[in-house]
A and B are shown apart, each in its own frame.
Chain A
């Protein structure tokens, strides 16, 4: 059993909670003012999830990189794994926003999709070649 301090980020109140954790589960919390806060704290301690976004290299576009995101949040402790997984990815323009760049990344159930459309551009750019 251990005590942890955590800031709730659900609303501007920003409650500072002290939670009691046992075996990875929240068994008590003090300092929260609402139900939503309690749900957030439980999730944040037991299975924290985050949006994932980065850029991948793109060939044949007016820019050197294409921004991408995950279609749903992924476990917090897998953010860096996803970043590494995409580090060597090179895509080819044209790209349309929503195009799947990598399906079901690391088996986490989230697709990585482009967030911008890039036309084909014959002028080569980028420093990574």
Chain B
């Protein structure tokens, strides 16, 4: 017989910890958190740089400092942790099948489930770089784990492909530990990461940022000996004749993050192709009754502070559902990305309370308007690297209540 718990949280990173804590705080009796790692905290323990918690705590913390506050809180509240535990399947009836060396294969019935599996890095295979297969090719997260948990130096002469925040932060980390970071190569015409990171991770260390460039080949037998870098023209096609060899012993890949949703799909949760994560309403409720989702499994966030906030909301919703206290949806309005918008989360508004919409623009804009069907809000500046948060108060939600669909569009302001 499977045990029954109020709330089962899958994933013990920032999102899952916040969800488990809020579940306990709003009255769930048994809360179980499962994680395949042997430590809690997800990716935060290896993010040794500062910049975490500025919004949530009003303090500038490192990753380990930020997450340890939540780990201590979760321990105090009596949340049950099942670590070294792989959740293999979740069915639509919220029965989990999991396995660990301690308990073997076991089942767990949950009155509500919170999905908090986070995201995974895209790899060399995902971006299809031709060439040999030598040692010395790492995703940024792997390089970070090697340096900041395991104490290994990944290489001495490094090219970083991709200018997302993780890539920029690793360019700085490698430089600080004495590596020569030859260049950061970015296929887009604008940097993928925040301006702060471009300044403090690249300019501070004199690292060139090659925009509209790509790595088109990897060289080396036992170890990477160099890469071919080329300019790219329109449509992302390398410009013939622009190729040049760059000597290096290491290639660090920071080429995007993908929400990890195999378990969600197995449970029948509908995904949004734009985010790669579950479709959720403002309570983080997915398309499957009693299954909630939060953090980077929903969409890839810029700031852990926001991840924590979605976790708290999912934990609260899950607990109310488990206790049969979740008010039924009042309406179902689809929030749909229109021109200039890559995605909007939540994708559904189901209640009448205030809602904060998180959206990402497709390309950098200045002095534009964001339109929501019946009204517009001015947007002075937005970049694809930075999520835009728009709070709709009860009054605004009420004016939209007659709609089945809200198109969110970016328009030049007149």
On whether the two chains bind one another, the answer is yes
Chain A interfacial positions (CB closer than 8 Å to B): 7, 9, 12-14, 50-51, 53-55, 57, 63-65, 67, 69, 76, 79-80, 83, 97, 115-117, 126-128
Q: When the two chains form their complex, are residues B195 and A7 in contact, meaning their CB atoms are under 8 A apart?
A: yes
Which interface class (under 10, 10 to 19, 20 to 34, 35 or more) fits B? 20 to 34
29 residue pairs from A and B, CB less than 8 Å apart: A9-B195, A9-B196, A9-B200, A12-B382, A13-B380, A13-B381, A50-B204, A51-B50, A51-B51, A53-B49, A53-B50, A54-B176, A57-B151, A63-B149, A64-B151, A65-B150, A67-B48, A67-B64, A76-B204, A80-B176, A83-B178, A97-B64, A97-B65, A97-B68, A116-B45, A116-B65, A126-B151, A127-B152, A128-B151
The contact of B149 among A57, A65, A80, A83, by CB within 8 Å, is A65
Bound-state Cα–Cα, A7 to B49, Å: 21
Q: Is the CB of B204 within 8 A of A65?
A: no
User: How distant is the Cα of A14 from the Cα of B386 in the complex, in angstroms?
Assistant: 12
Which one of A53, A97, A127 lies within 8 Å of B151 (CB-CB)? A127
**A11 to chain B: closest residue by CB:** B381
Say whether chain B's binding surface is mostly helix, strand, loop, or mixed. mixed
Total cross-chain contacts (CB, 8 A):
78
Shortest Cβ distance from B46 into A: residue: A67
A sample of 8 more A-B contacts (CB under 8 A), given A9-B195, A13-B380, A51-B50, is A9-B199, A50-B204, A57-B151, A65-B151, A79-B204, A83-B177, A115-B62, A117-B68
Q: Is the CB of B151 within 8 A of A12?
A: no
Determine if A54 and B204 form an interchain contact, defined as CB atoms under 8 angstroms apart.
Answer: no
Within 8 A of A (CB), among B150-208: 150-152, 176-178, 195-196, 198-200, 204
Structural contact, A67 and B62, CB atoms closer than 8 A: yes
| Chain A contacts for B50, CB-based, 8 A | 51, 53, 69
Report chain A residues within 8 Å CB of B68. 97, 116-117
A84 to B4, CA, bound (A): 54
Closest Cβ of chain A: how far from B339's Cβ, in Å? 21
B residues engaging A (CB < 8 A)? Answer: 45, 48-51, 60, 62, 64-65, 68, 147-152, 176-178, 195-196, 198-200, 204, 380-383, 386
- Which residues from A are CB-within-8-Å of B48? 53-55, 67, 69, 115
Chain A residues positioned under 8 Å from B152 (CB to CB): 64, 127
Interchain CA distance A79-B173 in the complex, whole Å: 11
Contact B381 A53 (CB under 8 A): no
Give the contacting residue for A115; candidates B60, B65, B195, B199; CB below 8 A. B65
Query: Bound complex: CA of A117 vs CA of B148, how far in Å?
Result: 14
Q: Choose from A14, A53, A64 the contact partner of B62 (Cβ within 8 Å).
A: A53
Which chain B residues border A67 with CB–CB below 8 Å?
A: 48, 62, 64, 148
**Residues on the A chain within 8 Å of B64, using CB:** 67, 97, 115-116
Closest beta carbon of chain A to B133's beta carbon, Å = 24
Residue of A nearest to B65 (CB): A115
In the bound assembly, the distance between CA atoms of A48 and B68 in angstroms comes to 30
Complex Cα spacing A53 to B45, Å = 13
B196 and chain A: residue at smallest CB distance = A9
Measured between beta carbons, the chain B residues less than 8 angstroms from A64 are 149-152
- The reply to whether B49 and A63 form a contact with Cβ atoms under 8 Å apart is no
List the A side residues contacting B195 at CB < 8 Å: 7, 9, 14
* CB neighbours of A57 from chain B (8 A): 151
By beta carbon, the residue of chain B nearest A51 is B50
Q: Determine the chain A residues whose CB is within 8 A of the CB of B380 once the complex forms.
A: 13
**A60 nearest CB across to chain B (Å):** 14
Most interface-central of B49, B382, B383 (chain A CB within 10 A): B49
Residues on the B chain within 8 Å of A14, using CB: 195, 381, 383
CB proximity of A51 to chain B, nearest CB, Å: 4
Determine the chain B residues whose CB is within 8 A of the CB of A80 once the complex forms: 176
A106 to chain B, nearest CB (A): 15
Q: Which of chain A's residues have a CB closer than 8 A to the CB of B200?
A: 9, 50
Partner of A51, one of B60, B151, B177: B60
Contact status B381-A12, CB under 8 Å: yes
Question: Whose C-beta in chain B lies nearest to the C-beta of A48?
Answer: B204
Q: Cβ of A55 and Cβ of B386 under 8 Å apart?
A: no
Question: How far, in Å, is B42 (CB) from chain A's closest CB?
Answer: 14
Query: Which of A13, A53, A63, A76 lies in contact with B150, CB distance below 8 A?
Result: A63
State the CA gap A103–B248 with chains docked (Å): 37
Contacting residues, chain A, for B45 (C-beta < 8 A) = 116
Asked if B386 contacts A12 (CB within 8 A), the reply is yes
Is the beta-carbon distance between A55 and B199 smaller than 8 angstroms?
no
| Bound Cα distance from A117 to B41, whole angstroms | 13
- Give A108 to B200 CA distance when docked, in angstroms: 20
Closest 8 A/B residue pairs (Cβ): A64-B151, A67-B48, A65-B151, A51-B50, A116-B64, A9-B196, A14-B195, A115-B62
Q: What is the chain A residue whose CB lies nearest that of B204?
A: A76
- Shortest beta-carbon distance, A78 to chain B, in Å? 12
